[in-house]
Amino acid sequence: MTVFTPSSCAKDRHLHVKMLHGLQGYEQVWHAMQAFTDERTDATEDVLWVLQHEPVFTQGQAGKPEHLIAPGDIPVVKVDRGGQVTYHGPGQLVIYLMIDITRLGIGPRELVSTIECAIVRSLALYGLTAVARQDAPGVYIDDAKIASLGLRIRKGKSFHGLSLNVDMDLEPFKRINPCGYKDLEMIQLTDFESGEVVEQAAGRLVNEIQNAFGYSDIVMEYAETI
């Protein structure tokens, strides 16, 4: 795993974190990410959007129709991130990372590995041993997937991000081949830590992301919508 070593590139920079309350519609947030990325300048601070989505399947640029088995009443949205199909819904922590990787001096592989490392470290705070896999981006516990990644880089700026299953209905994952893998078992944090909620998991993971990239501090914002 190639992990970014924080340097002076980030140590004097704030990480702006926007915590969104309630369930967010996917397409509204997605288009807002695109607009933010298109409009940002070299001076724009890096940003995390932390939220939960209304139920939705998202199909990445490499997505194949055969991995959508029976979506039923859950909408399917074709998006501009990498990867195959995944599910977002209530009880799942989603963090979108709008990071200037050129300014940090890293590439896409280091970005992915550093995010995975932050997830692994946040799960270690619960006493859980999780790992990333070279052949399949994401984070796993005993070959079952607990967190997924899907990113896009545009002109050296990242958007899209990660999802961590916390306390959700996992049934919709049975309607797809998650991330393009048949029979992949999906698990969640409450399988190991009963009573854990998204807000608590978000606080731990945001802190680990700050530490992993070396930002000097976090500027918090709370909002109802994007």
Residues 205 and 118 sit within 8 Å (Cβ to Cβ):
yes
Amino acid at residue number 120: V
> At 199, is the pLDDT very low, low, confident or very high (cuts 50, 70, 90)?
very high
> At 8, is the pLDDT very low, low, confident or very high (cuts 50, 70, 90)?
very low
Please identify which residue in the block is written with the tokens 């190991």.
Answer: 192
Prediction pTM value: 0.95
Please identify which residue in the block is written with the tokens 């995390």.
Answer: 48
| Average pLDDT of span 116-145 | 96
Q: How high is the pLDDT of residue 2? A: 53
pLDDT in tens, 71-95: 999 999 999 999 899 999 999 999 9
Dihedrals phi, psi of 25, to nearest 5 degrees: -65, 135
Contact residues for 125 (Cβ-Cβ < 8 A; gap 6+): 204
Specify the DSSP class assigned to residue 95: E
Domains of the chain and CATH, by start = 8-223 (3.30.930.10)
Evaluated on CA atoms 185, 191, 195, 199, the torsion sign reads negative
Amino acid at residue number 160: H
Q: How high is the pLDDT of residue 9? A: 54
By annotation, the residues acting in catalysis are 179
